[in-house]
Chain A
Amino acid sequence: MNLKSERRGIHVDQSELLCKKGCGYYGNPAWQGFCSKCWREEYHKARQKQIQEDWELAERLQREEEEAYASSQSTQGAQSLTFSKFEEKKTNEKTRKVTTVKKFFTASSRTGAKKVAQEKIIKQGQLGRERNADNILRDLKEIFTPSWELASPTEAEIQEAKAPSPSINRQVSIETDRVSKEFIEFLKTYHKPGQDIYKQCKLFLDTMNHKKDLSIEEQSECAQDFYQNVAEKLQTRWKVSPEKVEKAMDQIEKFIMTRQYKYVFCPETTDDEKKDLAVQKRIRALHWVTPQMLCVPVNEEIPEVSDMVVKAITDIIEMDSKRVPRDKLACITKCSKHIFNAIKITKNEPASADDFLPTLIYIVLKGNPPRLQSNIQYITRFCNPSRLMTGEDGYYFTNLCCAVAFIEKLDAQSLNLSQEDFDRYMSGQTSPKKQESDSWSPDMCVGVKQMYKNLDLLYQLNERQERIVSEAKKLEKDLIDWTDGITKEVQDIVEKYPLEIKPKNQALAAIDSENVENDKLPPPLQPQVYAG
C-alpha cells in the first residue's frame, strides 16, 4: 500500500484562499490565512516575543516562590534553585506542580491563570513549612529533573516494557497499561518487525514528549509522518503483506494515541474548546427543529425506529469517551448504521445519501454530542490518514463533518421557514411544537402526552376553583348584605315604635296617689256590727 500520496490527511477547514503573504501557495484559515511556511515565520516572531514575556513573568514568580520557601525551614534547597532550571522544565514532563507553572507558557488564559498560580504557589509554600527540608529537596529535584534523565535507556526490549520506563509511564492509567500489554502481545505475532515497531513507537513517544511545546498542527504532522514512515518501512524493509501492515497500523495508532490523548486532545493552545462551546450553544438554540423541517425520512412512531434513533444518539455521544481516533470513527460508523436501519424500516427501501445526511443532522441536533469540534479536529489531526480519505469509516466521518458544517450555517431557508418564524423560534418567543400540539401529538412520547392531558385537567380544575372562589365571595357578600338588611329593618321598626319605659319606683310608691279620682270615691267601708 502506498501511503505517500496521502501524506497530510484531510484538512477539513481548508479554504480556497491563497497565502496572505502572496507567496503563491495556498493558505489555511487555521494558520490565519498563511501557508505553512509563512505561518511558521509569523508564528515564530510572535512566539519569540511570547517567550520573552513568559520569562519575565516566570522570573518574578520564581522570586515569589523563593520568598515563600525562604520563610520555611528549607531555605537551603530553595535558594539553590536558579532560574536556568526553568528552561529544563519546558521539556519536562507534566507533573502536578509543573502543570501549575506550565500554564504560564501557554498563550491562552495567561492573565487569568496568573492569580490562580500565585495562590497555588503560596499554598505550596505553606505546605512546605510543614515538611522537612529533605522532603522538599527531593521533591524539587523530581520536578526539575528532565524526563530523559529519569527515563531508563531508550534501548527498550519487548520484555522490558512489562516494567515500563518512568518517563512515559509515571502517570499511566490502567487503560494505558492494558493497551500496552495488548500491543506487546500483538507484536509478538510479527516477530522481528514487531520488535522494530515497538522500538520506533517508543522513540516516537519520547520525541513527542519533548515536542509538547510545538503547535498542535506541527505535532499532527509528526504523527502523520510517523504513520507513513512505519508503514513504508514495514512494506519495503520487512516485506509485510498489505493486510498485515494495515492491522499493525491500527494497533500502532491505538498504542500511541492512548498515551498521547491527554496532551493532544483539545489542547489549550487552540481554540477547540471555544468552538465546542459555540457548537453546543448553537445546537441548544436549535432545540425546536422538528424532523419535518429537516425532511427526515424517519418515522419515530414506529417503536423499532425510535429504538434505532435512541441507539444512534447513544453511539454518537459515546464517541467522546473513546481515546483512539479509530475507536471514535467506529462510534460514528455504528451510529450511521443505526440511522440506515431506521430509514430502511420507515421507507422500506435502502437509504440514499439524500436521506442519510438530513437524518444524521437530526441525530446530532437531538443528541448534542459533547466536544463535537474537538473530536472532529482530533480525528482529523491524529487518525491514520488512509482511514479518513477512503473506506466506510471515512465516508461516515465526512458526513458528520458535513452535518456539523450545516448546523453551523443553518438558516430559515434551509428549514423551509420564513425569516420571521425562524427568528421567533431562535429567540424562544414561541415554539413550533406548542402551536402544532394537536397535529403533533401522535409524534410525542407517552410521557409528553400524559403531561398535556394533565395540563388540561389542571386547567379545568383551575377554572372550577375560580368559580368556587367567586361563588364563595358572592355568598359572603350576600351574607353581609343580609345582616345589614336585617339590622336596618330592625332599626326602622325601633324608630317607628319607640319603646317608652316609665320609671319603675314612681309607679310602685305612688300607686295610689296617681289615683286622682280617689277623692270622688266614696269612703271606704268601715266594718260595722249589726245587731240583728
Chain B
Amino acid sequence: MAGTSLDRTHPTYIYKVVLLGSTSVGKSSLAYRYVKNDFKESLPTMGCAFLTQTLCLEAATVRLEIWDTAGQEKYHSVCHLYYRGAHAALLVYDITSKETLSRAKLWLQELEKEFLHDEIVIALVGNKTDLMAEREVTTEEGEEFAKSKNLLYMETSAKSNYHVSEVFTAVAQELVAREGEKAAVQRPAPTDLQEPRGSGPRCCQL
C-alpha cells in the first residue's frame, strides 16, 4: 500500500488462517493457547473452532481469523471447502508421531493443487515439544522438508506455551511482507473473474 494519506500508512488487514493436521496433534490447543494467553478476558465462551486475534505489527494492524478444521481422516475429502479463500495455512504435526508428518505432507499436496505458491503462506508446525522423550521426528527432518517446499517452519508446544505466539506472528509478518511486495509490483488484477483463487486479503483502512 503506497498511499500517502495518514490512514494508509497503517492499514488493517484481515487474514484467514486455516489449521490443518490430524486429530490430536494439538491444532485446537495451539489456537486456544495463542488467543488465551494474550487476551485472558476475551476467552471464547463457546468453542475454539473459530478464533480471532488482532496483532499490531510495525507495518500494519493484522486481524487473524483462525479456522480450525476437523482432522479425522474421514473428513479429508470435504476439507478442501475449509481452505477456499484462505491466506495462510498452518500444517500441524505431532513430533512424537511420524505418521502425522506424512499426513501433513498430504495436506500440503492438496494445498498445492488449490493455490499457486505465492497465493498462500504455509507454515509447518511440529507441536508437542514437551514430549521430547518420545520424539519420532527430528528437528532437522522437519526443517529440511520445510526448506525443500519453501515453508515457514517452527517447533512449538501448546502445553508449555513454547513458540506459540511466535509462529502466528511469523505468519502475520510474512503476510504483511507479501502485501508490500504486491503493492510494489503493482500486479494487474486477475482478468478471469471466475477464478476462485484470485482472492487477496481484505484490507480495512482505519
User: What residues of chain A have their CB less than 8 Å away from a CB belonging to chain B?
Assistant: 1-8, 10-12, 14, 16, 25-26, 28, 35-36, 242, 295, 337, 340-341, 343-344, 350-358, 386, 389-392, 395-396, 398-399, 401-402, 405-406, 409, 413-414
B113 within 8 A of A: yes
Min Cβ gap A167→B in Å is 30
Q: Do B113 and A16 have beta carbons less than 8 Å apart?
A: yes
Which B residues form the contact surface with A (CB < 8 A)?
Answer: 14, 16, 19, 23, 27-28, 32, 44, 46-50, 65, 67-72, 74-75, 77-79, 81-82, 84-85, 113-114, 189, 192-196, 198-206
Nearest 6 interchain pairs by C-beta: A352-B28, A5-B200, A351-B47, A353-B68, A357-B70, A340-B46
**In the complex, what's the smallest C-beta–C-beta distance from B175 to chain A, in angstroms?**
13
Contacting residue for A352 out of B68, B194, B201, CB 8 A = B68
Task: Determine the chain A residues whose CB is within 8 A of the CB of B67 once the complex forms.
Answer: 353, 395, 398
CB of A37, distance to nearest CB on chain B (Å): 8
Kindly provide the distance from the CB of B48 to the nearest chain A CB, expressed in whole angstroms.
Answer: 5
Contact of A402 among B28, B75, B195 (CB under 8 A): B75
- Which residues of chain B come closer than 8 Å to A390, judged between CB atoms? 14, 16, 65, 85, 202
Query: Is the beta-carbon distance between A3 and B46 smaller than 8 angstroms?
Result: no
CA–CA, A413 and B28, complex, Å: 25
Evaluate contact between B203 and A405: CB separation under 8 angstroms.
no
Partner of B65, one of A350, A391, A401, A414: A391
Tell whether, in the assembled complex, residue B16 and residue A402 are in contact, meaning their CB atoms are under 8 Å apart: no
If A16-B113, A352-B68 touch, whether A6 touches B85 (CB-CB below 8 Å) is yes
Closest-by-CB residue of A relative to B200 is A5
Q: Which residue of A lies closest to B67 (CB)?
A: A395
Decide yes or no: A350 and B47 within 8 Å by CB, A357-B75, A390-B202, A406-B78 being known contacts. yes
Main secondary structure of the interface of A (DSSP, over half): helix
- In the complex, the answer to whether A395 meets B50 with C-beta atoms within 8 Å is yes
A389 touches B16 (CB 8 A): yes
Is the Cβ of B49 less than 8 Å from the Cβ of A352?
yes
A4-B189, A398-B67 provided; 13 other pairs, C-beta below 8 A?
A: A8-B194, A25-B192, A28-B194, A341-B46, A350-B44, A350-B46, A352-B28, A353-B28, A354-B68, A395-B65, A398-B84, A402-B75, A402-B82
A-B contact count (CB 8 A): 136
Q: In the complex, which of the residues A341, A343, A351, A389 contacts B85, with contact meaning CB atoms closer than 8 Å?
A: A389
The one of A8, A25, A352, A409 in contact with B48, judged by C-beta atoms closer than 8 angstroms, is A352
Q: Which residue of chain B lies nearest to A408 when distances are taken between CB atoms in the complex?
A: B78
In whole angstroms, how far apart are the Cα atoms of A356 and B70 in the complex?
8
Residues of A within 8 A of B198 (CB): 5, 7
Enumerate chain B residues within 8 angstroms of A389, measured Cβ to Cβ. 16, 85, 199, 202
Docked CA distance A390–B203 (Å) = 12
Contact B72 A25 (CB under 8 A): no
**Inside 8 A of A14's CB, which chain B residues have their CB?**
196
Measured CA separation A471–B201 after assembly (Å): 85
**Interface core residue of B14, B28, B81, B84 (most chain A CB under 10 Å):** B81
Q: Provided the pairs A12-B81, A357-B70 are in contact, do residues A351 and B202 lie with their beta carbons within 8 angstroms?
A: no
List B contacts of A352 (CB < 8 A). 27-28, 47-49, 68
Q: Give the one of A16, A386, A402 with max B CB within 10 A.
A: A402
Known contacts A351-B46, A352-B47; A398 and B196 CB within 8 A of each other: no
| Contacting pair A392 B50 (CB below 8 A) | yes
A355 to B32, CA, bound (A): 15
**Contact status B113-A26, CB under 8 Å:** no
In the bound assembly, the distance between CA atoms of A25 and B192 in angstroms comes to 8
Check if B84 sits within 8 Å of A356, measured CB to CB. Answer: no
A312 to B93, CA, bound (A): 33
CB of B193 within 8 A of CB of A7, answer yes
The answer to whether residues A5 and B50 also contact, given A357-B75, A406-B75, A409-B78 and a CB cut-off of 8 A, is: no
In the assembled complex, how far is the CB of residue A391 from the closest CB belonging to chain B, in whole angstroms?
7
B124 smallest CB distance to A (angstroms): 20
- Let me know if A354 and B204 touch, CB within 8 A: no
Given A10-B85, A352-B48, decide whether A242 and B79 contact each other with a Cβ distance below 8 A.
Answer: no
Chain B: minimal CB distance from A164 (Å): 34
What is the CA–CA distance of A491 and B200 in the complex, to the nearest angstrom?
113
Complex contact A26–B71 (CB within 8 A): no
Query: What's the least CB distance linking B142 to chain A, in Å?
Result: 23
Complex contact B205–A242 (CB within 8 A): yes
Cα distance, A395 to B77, chains bound together (Å): 18
